[in-house]
Amino acid sequence: MALQRLVKSALWIAAAGLTLQPAFGQAGGNAGNRPAVPASMDTAAPPPVRITGKVILEDKSAPPTPVLVERVCAGLAHPEGTTDAKGNIAIDLGHDIIRDPYAIHVQPGIDLAPEEADRPFMDCAIRFSLPGYRSDMVSMSTAKPVGHPYLGTVVLHFVGKVDGYLISPTSLEAPKDAKKAFDKAQEVIRKNKQAEALQNYQKAVQIDPQYAAAWYELGRLQAAIHKVDDAKQSFNAAIKTDPKYLSPYLQLSALAEVSENWPDLAEVTGRLIALDPIDYPEAYFYGALSNYRTRKMDVAEKFARDGLKVDLDHHFPQTYQLLASILVARNQPAAAVEQLETYVNLFPRADDIVTVQANLVQLRASLPKK
């Protein structure tokens, strides 16, 4: 009974704290777009900082598609735009002035000093995302609010072939009027004009029902204003028009998790992992969670362990806690102790560290005496 109580107390916050993934820019070089709910309308945005540089592959060629550029601050990823078709970087950071409550890559335990007024992004790093590739993040510690920090040449290293992509080809095929409405929505959402943005995204998909990126951004905005059913329809429309477009899958996964629709969660994360088994440790977490909730513990354990292998930079540490709960449910308390010990060692400053340590003490006490 003690072990079962631990399962309930340990599964806890990892699932409850999940939210939607930040979205990916679609409009090209300066496509930093984040439909969102304002954190505070009274807080002035930091001055923009333009970053420049270049992204190449190991053979020095340009990436096969534009690369997503994200600003990562305190573990929270803010998509700011993409490279151009040749891998060149020229993006103004700081347009993301409305905070997105549906962000997923929140890593506990990061202890950052307060931002200095004249260096708003000094504690941030720049991350480059292309399915099937990995790169090191570039620190912004020397960035200034004016000028153009040069990031140099960033090399993407091939990890493995994937079938999915972040930039839907339907964006290139959309007619002029649909792109115009989409671009207008991107422009006004930065000013927190959500109603106007909603109208323009809807106009874009009315003009071109095959415009996957517009369906996706429409769904993101609908989710942000709590129109969940409409958001699901939009994300599913994006997938229907472009089944290999990765971005909508995680959004649907998060919505299924929030509504505790475990069969839907298992189905959509399975499809995402089939398209890209490399880049989404959170998909493995969702797969583990859905199978844990439906008592398929052997499948849940495999998802969790595979997720830890994929999450090389520990961006999704909740998996350690979930795996511990799965192992407890499978009557393997010693193995569960190892997972919680790993979590405590990796994230000693996590917000939930006291709770995890208490669970660890309780679990150790349940082990057979030597």
Residue 20 has pLDDT above 70, yes or no: no
Structural domains of the chain ordered from first start: 1-19+260-370 (1.25.40.10), 49-162 (2.60.40.1120), 167-245 (1.25.40.10)
How does pLDDT run across 176-210, given as a tens digit for each residue? 999 999 989 988 887 888 999 999 999 999 999 99
Please report the pLDDT score of residue 267 as a whole number. 96
> Would you call 279 helix, strand, or coil by DSSP?
coil
pTM of this structure: 0.73
Residues 6+ apart with CB under 8 A from 163: 244, 274, 275, 276
Q: In what order do the strands lie in the sheet with 133-134?
A: 88-93, 49-57, 150-158, 133-134
5 versus 122: which is more confidently predicted? 122
Average pLDDT in the chain: 78
- Assess whether pLDDT exceeds 80 at residue 14: no
**d(Cα 144, Cα 75) in Å, to the nearest integer?**
21
Of the candidates 61, 214, 34, 224, the one whose C-alpha atom is nearest the C-alpha of residue 130 is: 61
pLDDT tens digits along 237-293: 999 999 999 989 988 998 999 899 999 999 999 999 999 999 888 899 999 999 999
76: confidence class by pLDDT, cuts 50, 70, 90: low
**DSSP state string for 287-314:** HHHHHHHTT-HHHHHHHHHHHHHH-TT-
Residue, of 267 and 113, whose pLDDT is higher: 267
What is the C-alpha to C-alpha distance for residues 303 and 323, in angstroms, rounded to an integer? Answer: 9
Whether 185 and 217 have beta carbons less than 8 Å apart is answered as: yes
- What per-residue confidence (pLDDT) applies to 262? 96
Q: Which of 30-44, 49-63, 140-154, 348-362 has the lowest mean pLDDT?
A: 30-44
Is residue 81 predicted with pLDDT exceeding 90? no
| 34 has pLDDT over 50 | no
The pLDDT > 70 percentage for the chain reads 76
Distances in whole angstroms, Cα of residue 354 to Cα of each of 59, 163, 310, 362? 47, 41, 27, 12
Bridge partner list, 27? none
The yes-or-no verdict on residue 227 having pLDDT over 90 is yes
Percent pLDDT > 90 in the chain is 45
